[in-house]
């Protein structure tokens, strides 16, 4: 196994799936796949409603994301491409250092400064065109 020089991504924090209807999606991810529903949260800053389903025996969780308006990036993504995988989130130790390293490597970080999430996490997104077609999110969780 080849190990990269920098150890930025420590673990998968979550995989986000954009859906039209949270309740319908829960009938698959909770009721069929059996992922426990931890909570549903409105995120006004992002204009979405999110269901958090942590994997019972592992690390990380599935987030089902339903846009609550039509004027956000994720709502346009849903309208244009339909439901599906939206992004994968990796946890990093130091998000400022990670942002600098990624920018130096030519990846496009979409925020100038990390944003602050409801769990106290800092987060940024990486443009998919610089990450082989995948929208990547980075989290720094509070210590
Ligand atoms: Co996310």
List of domains in the chain: 2-140 (3.10.180.10)
pLDDT tens across 21-73, in order?
Answer: 999 999 999 999 999 999 999 988 889 999 999 999 988 999 999 999 999 99
Q: Calculate the CA dihedral of residues 52, 127, 138, 2 and round it to 10 degrees.
A: 120
For residue 2, pLDDT beyond 80: no
For residue 10, how far is its CA from the centre of ligand 1 (angstroms)? 15
- 41 CA distance to ligand 1 centroid (A)? 13
For residue 3, what pLDDT band results from cuts at 50, 70 and 90? low
Task: Identify the pLDDT of residue 142.
Answer: 94
CB 69 within 8 A of CB 75: yes
pLDDT in tens, 99-127: 999 999 999 999 999 999 888 999 999 99
pLDDT confidence of 5, banded at 50, 70, 90?
low
> What pLDDT score was predicted for residue 1?
54
Q: Give residue 117 CA to ligand 1 midpoint distance, Å.
A: 10
Please enumerate in sequence order all residues whose Cβ is within 8 A of that of 36, keeping only pairs 6 or more positions apart, or say none: 30, 53, 54, 56
CB count in 10 Å sphere of residue 105: 11
What DSSP state is assigned to residue 130?
A: G
HSE toward the beta carbon, residue 126, CA cutoff 13 A: 24
Residue 58: the pLDDT is: 83
Contact (Cβ atoms closer than 8 angstroms) between residue 51 and residue 22: yes
Q: What is the pTM of this model?
A: 0.90
What distance in angstroms lies between residue 16's CA and the mean position of ligand 1's atoms? 6
Cα 5 to averaged position of ligand 1 atoms, centre (Å): 25
CA distances from 88 to 31, 126, 131 (A): 23, 10, 11
pLDDT above 90 (res 143)? no
CB 88 within 8 A of CB 15: yes
State the distance from the centre of ligand 1 to the C-alpha of 133, rounded, in angstroms. Answer: 16
pLDDT at position 22 is 98
CA of 1 to the centre of ligand 1 (A): 28
- For residue 4, the model assigns a pLDDT of 56
- What tokens were used for 133? 């077609």
Query: What would the two tokens of residue 33 be?
Result: 């796949």
Measured in Å, residue 15 CA sits from the centre of ligand 1 at 7
């Amino acid at each position: 196994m080849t190990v990269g020089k920098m150890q930025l991504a420590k673990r998968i924090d979550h995989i986000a799936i954009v859906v039209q209807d949270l309740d319908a999606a829960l009938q698959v991810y909770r009721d069929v796949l059996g992922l426990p529903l931890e909570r549903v949260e409105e995120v006004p800053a992002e204009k979405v409603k999110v269901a958090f389903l942590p994997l019972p025996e592992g690390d990380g969780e599935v987030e089902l994301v339903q846009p609550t308006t039509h004027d956000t990036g994720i709502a346009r993504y849903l309208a244009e491409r339909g439901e599906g995988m939206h992004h994968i989130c990796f946890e990093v130790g130091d998000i400022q250092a990670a942002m600098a390293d990624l920018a130096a490597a030519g990846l496009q970080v979409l925020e100038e400064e990390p944003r602050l999430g409801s769990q106290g996490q800092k987060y940024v997104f990486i443009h998919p065109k610089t990450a082989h077609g995948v929208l990547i999110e980075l989290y720094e969780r509070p210590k």
